[in-house]
Amino acid sequence: MRKWISFPHKEGVVSRQAHADFPEQGIYEREAGRSGFFGPAAHFHHQRPPTSWDSWEGPLRPRAFNLNNLETNVHSPFSSPVVLQNKFCKYRFWRCEHKMDFLVRNADGDDLLFVHEGEGELFCDYGHLTVRDGDYIVIPRSTMWRLEPSKPMSLLIIEATNDSYQLPEKGLVGPHAIFDPAMLDIPAIDDAFKAQQVEGKWIVEIKRNDDISKVHYSYSPLDAIGWHGDLSVVRINWRDIRPLMSHRYHLPPSAHTTFVASRFVVCTFVPRPIESDPGALKVPFYHNNDDFDEVIFYHAGDFFSRDNIDAGMVTFHPCGFTHGPHPKAFEAGRKHAKKETDEVAVMLDTRDPLEIGASAFSVEDESYSESWKVKK
């Protein structure tokens, strides 16, 4: 059995409450915490922004990648470029412009698809779903599936390697908070699904240990007439997420957790009112990445804690340094210039270090680490 060392203590000039009512000479609060935002934490009050570094040396620096510039229009999702990865997770970006005339099956783990652009039809073992931008689609391990875009689709694909996706424990707020599980859509064995059950040559690409095997059929393997049970592909759109909010306290990113795996979580930032209490922090607090690597994919809107970030970009903050809002965003928060956010973003927090894929270096904004400097 293990137990965190715990000794609540105050030293020097501090606020009584984290993220609120800062002392005037220490308005730059920094949180150092363990186990993401669930372990013990210390809150420091600094006279200068903890991100006001002069320069960076070494590979740990914060990074930004413009996935719009990746070569992603490839034959199969399994051929799409890996942006980031570790033993427990693969983070890909794929563009699907044409009807898939084959099926894919990932035997390495569950896949989470996030539709960044486009719309179309998903066919899988469980039936048919119409999908659109903003949809999350959880595909259980070894499910056969394919897409028929009606508009070209760009998709973020996060593989839970040798693992599965589950819903977060919602604790005191109850099982219907953030989104009611009744909002999850399930594929249907409908007329569109039955219409594709035709004779002809079909290939199923199966990925196992990152090697591809191909199984050939003389008919469509998606020929089910029905199924029953509690395992299925499920879909929810970010527009159906109702975020937790507090007008007096800035909630940590963990409050926006959407899906969990054993070694990482996926969170969704959606539009919400900004804290209105005069003493409450109105932007994300400066914090250390003490146990997790943080990745944010920007889907839409104006991300209120960042400058010069566009839809289709990804930021990567490895474990080991302090990060937080850009200078303009911090000042706008102090002035309460905005009353609500209009951002939509997908955050991945991994317990294990991520490695950068070779293709990502070609679309990196190498000046990103300089973006916290105050322009004089």
The total number of structural domains that make up the chain: 2
pTM value is 0.93
Give the span between the Cα atoms of 65 and 365, in whole angstroms: 6
pLDDT at 34: 85
233 and 359 belong to one structural domain: no
Q: Domain of 44? A: 24-64+241-370
Give pLDDT, residue 305: 64
218 and 259 assigned to the same domain:
no
Round the average pLDDT of the chain to a whole number and report it. Answer: 92
One domain, residues 221 and 293: no
Per-residue pLDDT band for 300 (boundaries 50, 70, 90) equals very high
Same domain? For 208 and 186 the reply is yes
Q: Which residues are annotated as a binding site for homogentisate?
A: 323
**Domain-terminating residue out of 238, 268, 291:** 238
Cβ partners under 8 Å of residue 213, min gap 6: 205, 206
Q: Name the band, by pLDDT with cuts 50, 70 and 90, for residue 85.
A: very high
Residues 43, 82, single domain; the answer is no
**Residue ranges at the known binding site for Fe cation:** 287, 293, 323
Tens-place pLDDT, residues 91-134 = 999 999 999 999 999 999 999 999 999 999 999 999 999 999 99
Catalogue the active-site residues. 250
| Nearest CA among 351, 338, 327, 323 for reference residue 64 | 323
Query: Quick one: pLDDT at residue 266?
Result: 98
Q: Is the separation of the CB atoms in 124 and 60 below 8 Å?
A: no
As annotated, the binding site includes 287, 293, 323
Asked if residue 361 and residue 309 are part of one domain, the reply reads: yes
